[in-house]
Amino acid sequence: MSDSFNLYTFLSLFLCLLIGVFFAWLLYGKTKDLDKRLRYGLAAARAVVVTAIGFLLCFPLIRSVSYNPEKPIIVIGQDNSLSVGNITPVGFNKPLYEQQMQRLAKELSEQYEVRIYNFSDSVKTGFDFSNTGKLSNAAQLITKLNDEYLNRNVGAVILASDGIFNRGGSPLYELNKLKAPVYTIALGDTVPKRDLLIANINHNSLVYRDNDFTIEVQAQAFEAKGAESQLSVSTNGKKVYEERLSVTSDAFVKNIPVKLKAIGLGLQKYTVQLSPLQHEISEKNNIQHIFIDVIDAKQKVLIAAAGPHPDITALKQAISLQKNFEVKVALAEELNAFRPEDYGLVILYQLPSMVYDASAFINKLGAVNVAVWHILGAQSNINIFNQLQKQVRFSGSNNTLQETFSDVNAGFTAFDLDKAMAKQITGFDPLQVPFGNVVVNGNSAVVLNQRIGKIHTDYPQLFFMVDNGKKTGFLIGEGLWKWKLSEAGEAQQEPMVFNSLISKIVQYLSVKDDKRKFKVYAAKNTFDENENVLLNGVLYNDSYVSVNAPDVSITLKNDAGKAFKFLFSRTDAAYQLDAGTLPAGNYTYSATTVLGNKNYAAQGVFYVNAMVAEYQQTVANHQLLNTMSAQTGGKMYMPQDLLKLVDVIKSNDQIKTLSYEDRKYQELINFKWLFLLIMALLTMEWFFRKRNGEI
């Protein structure tokens, strides 16, 4: 209906009507030639036209108001997780409960708008009493309700659950946003049952091969005082740890440190298990699997020199501080017994030297793809050095030495040197450098530049180069021992900056770049059985530019040998596969593609972990459900009383239909019939005046 016609509107309309009558009188008041009835008719038409035009000018907008009733929304949320279906109290009739829940929804729908959801690890619409959800996330349901029904007429929320929420946190903090009472139906059993379980395992995800590491197993037991169990850890079908566990109380908790040794390489699966007790409610929570990536990061480093020097000792001590580096020192003829290919990095300390050129060893080193760090000093044979490699040419002589300090290159990014570290390096004692110029042939990454006194130069002191995938480092100067000594003397502690710098240099040079042209890898090493398995792939052409024109196929195989075949989807310049959810177990994959006339293949492994969260807690948390109801003005009901909710909700005066006022403003110019009326009246008036000779 319209509420635009108030007293002001009627007065304005009356004024427009008077003006219309006045215009009609001026035009037809003294006209005697027209028939009396025709004259009155034309005068009335003119009065209506003028009145309508005046009203259009005075009131371009007209407001209309409508009222839309909205029934209260009753939301029913049913917990569809495993714990609700597996742990039930004595006398619970599941078929009857399902029938009554459907009846509750039907009776409420006669008067209200009923929305039904089921929730576990995801939220879905409608009832689902299969209880197959691997997790219970009530917070996700409440968040969804807040998003969908914000500022809506939510009358009440009925939540049927056991109160065991193992994902998403407590829903208590989001309930008040709904501004509606929450009525809870308390499922599950609050009586503790005899049960033994692994509650949690703390462990590192990455360890080095042959190193010892510790995992911490938290064992819990209920109603099992006096019982005994056996804790065991196994990997690759072999038991690697065993310990007897005695339960000393009915509410038993114990943290058990387990020391293991990292064996094998790659992702290793460890099975932690507690032998079951008699008559315990569930044995599925007695076992858990953890996955630890075992890497062989122990790199061998060889320091080759013509003779002893304090720098060699300083280098060896700094490198040995890292457990993943093994350092050997070889002097003069000892080098002939070493194979360069057995090492990840060879440090040529002042080799070739004036007293021993080590040409046989250096020639062998040049034939293999092993990173090299050249350190030049007073004993270096500059001429032979220039002949044995083409990357750096040193023009000068080691007969004359000069002292050069170090300046950190701010543009270096291969590894991090923070401001404090850079300041410390700048203050180190100078190195002894053979007098001459350094010419670098090719691209280099400069870490330190030479500073002579207070003069900053562009001459490099420490820099790296890469030639056909082989990393090479150069340090122009000797006297590293003075760096270590000066730092230790100033701080009266371990020379952290010196040790860190040497460690970063060695790690950068010794790490091998992955130059494979076809790579396929899982988004992570382990997936839960309720999450989608994602794999990524990348393919490079001969110019090492990523391409994705060819198809990439992949075959996944589980422990039983069952194969799952997929085809990768293309992204902007790579590949991706969403394999969906997979059953728990170990999986290997083999991906293949063809680029040009070359076949490429990539293999790998990942694990899908069985989820046991729903078996970790077997005692229903009715206290939480009661708090949720009390906090929002609702009430908790037992399953046998759930039909009482129909009368409770209907008798709640706060749950009522709301009427929303909808105001609309429309321009009179949009009313086409008004223009048609004006045009019709003007046309009619013109026709009769023309016919009677008034025009």
Model pLDDT for residues 515-556, shown as the tens digit of each residue: 788 999 998 888 888 889 999 999 998 878 899 999 999 999
Query: Looking up tokens 């040049």, which residue turns up?
Result: 366
Give the count of beta carbons closer than 10 Å to the beta carbon of residue 534. Answer: 14
Average pLDDT over residues 555-565: 92
3-state SS string over 1-20?
CECCCCHHHHHHHHHHHHHH
Query: Contact, 325 vs 317, CB < 8 A?
Result: no
- Residue 54: which of 98, 90, 23 has the closest Cα? 23
Cα(178)–Cα(121) distance, rounded to whole angstroms?
22
Q: How far is CA 349 from CA 283, 303, 304, 393, in A?
A: 62, 7, 6, 17
Give the count of beta carbons closer than 10 Å to the beta carbon of residue 133. Answer: 24
3-state SS string over 112-165?
CEEEEEEECCCEEECCCCCCCECCCCHHHHHHHHHHHCCCCCEEEEEEEECCCC
- Residue 134: which of 530, 678, 558, 660 has the closest Cα? 530
Model pLDDT for residues 329-372, shown as the tens digit of each residue: 999 999 989 999 999 999 999 999 999 989 899 999 989 989 99
| Largest CA-CA distance found in the chain, in angstroms, rounded | 141
Q: Is 553 helix (H, G, I), strand (E, B) or coil?
A: strand
pLDDT of residue 2: 46
Average pLDDT over residues 254-279: 90
DSSP for 401-426, please give it: EEEEEEEE-TT--SS---HHHHHHHH
Cα(430)–Cα(410) distance, rounded to whole angstroms?
20
Could you check whether the bond before residue 69 is cis, i.e. omega within 30 degrees of 0? Answer: no
**CA angle (242, 244, 245) in 5-degree steps:** 125
Residue 475 has pLDDT above 90, yes or no: yes
Categorize the per-residue pLDDT at 77 as very low, low, confident or very high, splitting at 50, 70 and 90. Answer: very high
pLDDT of residue 695: 63
Which region holds residue 139: left if phi is over 0, alpha if psi is between -120 and 50, else beta? alpha
Task: Name the strand (E) or helix (H) holding 382.
Answer: helix 382-388
Return the percentage of the chain with pLDDT > 70, whole number: 95
Q: Which residue has the higher pLDDT, 248 or 1?
A: 248
Average pLDDT over residues 17-44: 79
Average pLDDT over residues 261-279: 89
Query: Contact, 272 vs 231, CB < 8 A?
Result: yes
Residue 67 has pLDDT above 80, yes or no: no
Instruction: Give me the helix-helix angle, 496-510 and 310-320, nearest 10°.
Output: 80
Residue 41 has pLDDT above 50, yes or no: yes
3-state DSSP percent of the chain in helix, strand and coil, to 5:
30, 40, 35
pLDDT of residue 533: 94
The terminus-to-terminus CA distance of the chain in angstroms comes to 44
pLDDT of residue 306: 94
- Amino acid, single-letter form, for residue 157: V
- Residue 148: which of 188, 108, 99, 113 has the closest Cα? 113
Query: Contact, 641 vs 46, CB < 8 A?
Result: no
List the beta strands (DSSP E) in 477-551: 518-522, 526-528, 534-540, 546-547
Average pLDDT over residues 225-234: 94
206 strand-pairing partners: 293
Cα(101)–Cα(635) distance, rounded to whole angstroms?
17
Which region holds residue 51: left if phi is over 0, alpha if psi is between -120 and 50, else beta? alpha
Model pLDDT for residues 654-683, shown as the tens digit of each residue: 888 887 777 776 666 677 777 788 888 888
Average pLDDT over residues 292-305: 85
Query: Contact, 483 vs 433, CB < 8 A?
Result: no
Model pLDDT for residues 601-624, shown as the tens digit of each residue: 999 989 998 887 778 788 899 999
Average pLDDT over residues 456-470: 89
Q: Which residue has the higher pLDDT, 538 or 43?
A: 538
Mean pLDDT, all residues of the chain: 88
pLDDT of residue 299: 82
Q: Which tokens belong to 598?
A: 């070359």
Average pLDDT over residues 187-208: 88
- Residue 605: which of 517, 531, 538, 526 has the closest Cα? 526
Average pLDDT over residues 111-122: 93
Model pLDDT for residues 378-424, shown as the tens digit of each residue: 999 999 999 888 899 988 777 788 999 999 998 888 888 888 888 99
Q: How far is CA 78 from CA 42, 162, 185, in A?
A: 74, 10, 9
Q: What is the pTM of this model?
A: 0.60
DSSP for 272-335, please give it: EEEPPPTT-S-SGGGEEEEEEEEE---EEEEEEESS--HHHHHHHHHHHTSTTEEEEEEEGGGG
pLDDT of residue 297: 62
Cα(144)–Cα(146) distance, rounded to whole angstroms?
5
What's the residue count for the chain? 695
Model pLDDT for residues 568-591, shown as the tens digit of each residue: 999 988 999 999 999 988 999 999
291 strand-pairing partners: 269
